[in-house]
A and B are shown apart, each in its own frame.
Chain A
Amino acid sequence: MTESKTITLNMGPHHPATHGVLRLIVELDGETIVKATPYIGYLHRGIEKIAESKLFQQVIPLTDRLDYAAASANNIGYCLAAEKLMGLEVPKRAQYLRVIMAEFARIMGHHLWLGTHALDIGAMTVIFYTFRDREMIMDINEEIAGYRLTPTFFRIGGVAQDTTPDFIKKVRDFVKWFPKALEGYHTLLTENKIWTTRTMNIGKISAEEAVNYGLTGPSLRGSGVAYDIRKAFPYSSYDDFDFQIPVGENGDVYDRYLVRMEEFKQSINIISQAIENLPEGPVHADSPWITNPATTDAQNDISALIRRFMMHTKGPTAPKGEVYAAVEGAKGELGFYLVGDGTEHPYRLKIRSSCFYLASALPRLLVGHMVADAIAIIGSLDVVLGEIDR
């Protein structure tokens, strides 16, 4: 009788296939994983602690750095929480612009996921095409916000500025172009024999288990649970748009892939509806104690100038209270639990990170698979370490 002996293998934190600084210690029996332990915290910047000493609007750029692959989707979550706490109503035009930017962020996040996920499994071509299209969205971000990766375009009460004619044109061009590009991604992968063999029946998780592990977003929908916050708890006028929630059946890597590929299509569908039906009106709420006055007012009216000065030095004050606002980020439910204590700083900000719970399911998903499949499973969950470690 031979005695079976396991070996311990360290993966990461600096490994391209772990998509950041995720460290995994796997115990192997031959090439099969018998135990996996993830270690996180290498990118911990203490955003929750820093936020407690910042003004409310100063937290917005910090949230960009959570899921940096889809930055606008984080901004909208924090702004919604702050607006809920302060009781602000956002104008319709700003809500539509937010939807456009958040959906672009989702597409950007999925672009990064698709390119790197395929690269990990050995399909090298895909990343060139996804990054070509991602570049176009970055140009759109630059056009309207001035920044490319982390736009920080949203403000408490609305968005930073109105659209430019170039922005509308670029968005329309992209909406027209993207379905063709998406077809290209499908031709490269969906029926590719190597791709299906590497992804089908790998990293399977049932619906009940996925819910129990706190998975959200495409990873949960891949298992067949149609939980999408845009439909379940609509925010920012999402109920105005007509879109579907794609769900999978088997909950394996391939189904999660298909769900995200379909989400590309639904996102572009939402953007096209929003840009064509963009309502007229202001892009920022007007509340004397919370928001900035319009620039023209500040130039002509002394009281508006004083108000502007107060907003920039002291900042808006939030009443005592606690709110929870969740949005559907590119990776799943991104929630902000905000506690106000009557001052101009958040008393406590808790970020419900979707990737944190995705990573916590890794020990369950990896066991029984080969080392090479571990790479496919991590890729299919689409974790971003900036959001896990906060």
Chain B
Amino acid sequence: MAVKTVIDAIGKIHPDSIIKQCETQGICEITLAADAFFEVMTLLHEHKPFPFDMLTDILGIDRMPRTPRFDLVYLLLSTKNFTRLIVRMEIDEGQDVPSVSSIWHSADWAEREVFDLMGIPFSNHPNLQRILMWENFEGHPLRKDFPLEGKDFDKPFDPTTIQDYC
């Protein structure tokens, strides 16, 4: 299987980078250590003959009482032979993750969304700003300790608190 050869190749170049490896619902999944993360992602993107050339999505999962608190999941796809790969990393609150937007352009907005809604900061990102919520919004809505109705639902809305983009 093509995915296995990729994973073996990574294991040779960066031993100890893959902490766990499993397969769910026909999709291969690897859990990476934080230190070699960026190098492994570069390898996955440049691997021949089946590079993982599309970053389908990035998502964060808040596992609140657990440490490290967050799961960061990258969905990769090879458009050459249509294989998916899930790359997972466990990170703690406030821990920086190297941005992969220099490898895949699609990571630009995806990382901004994770930063906005989950509060995971990315280092070396060209423009790490909120994307769905407004600029001076406080808190990260998709965290489990954020109340469903919002923190200020009982206060009247004040439009002057919203900064303009221009």
Taking Cβ atoms with an 8 Å cutoff, the residues of A that contact B are 8, 10, 23, 25, 39-41, 44, 46, 48-50, 52-53, 84, 208-209, 211-214, 225, 227, 232-233, 321-324, 326, 333, 335, 337, 339, 347-348, 350, 352, 356-357, 359-361, 364, 389-390
Contacts and interface: CB of A to CB of B under 8 A. Distances in A.
Interface in B109-166: 109-110, 113, 117, 131-134, 141-142, 146, 148, 165-166
Given A53-B148, A232-B82, A233-B82, A214 B56 contact: yes
B54 A49 contact: no
A337 B105 contact: no
Contact of B79 (A50, A211, A233): A211
A98 B69 CA distance: 39
B14 to A, nearest CB: 23
A53 B142 CA distance: 12
A334 B134 CA distance: 25
B109 A10 contact: no
Contact of A213 (B75, B105, B166): B105
A208 B110 CA distance: 19
Interface residues of B, number: 35
Nearest to A39: B165
Given A41-B132, A213-B106, A361-B105, 8 more contacts: A23-B165, A40-B131, A49-B146, A53-B148, A214-B110, A326-B56, A337-B75, A360-B108
Nearest to A220: B79
A5 B146 CA distance: 46
B84 to A, nearest CB: 8
Nearest to A84: B25
B55 A25 contact: no
Given A321-B24, A350-B59, A356 B105 contact: no
Contacts of B90: none
A8 B165 CA distance: 12
Interface string B48-75: 0000011111010110000000000101
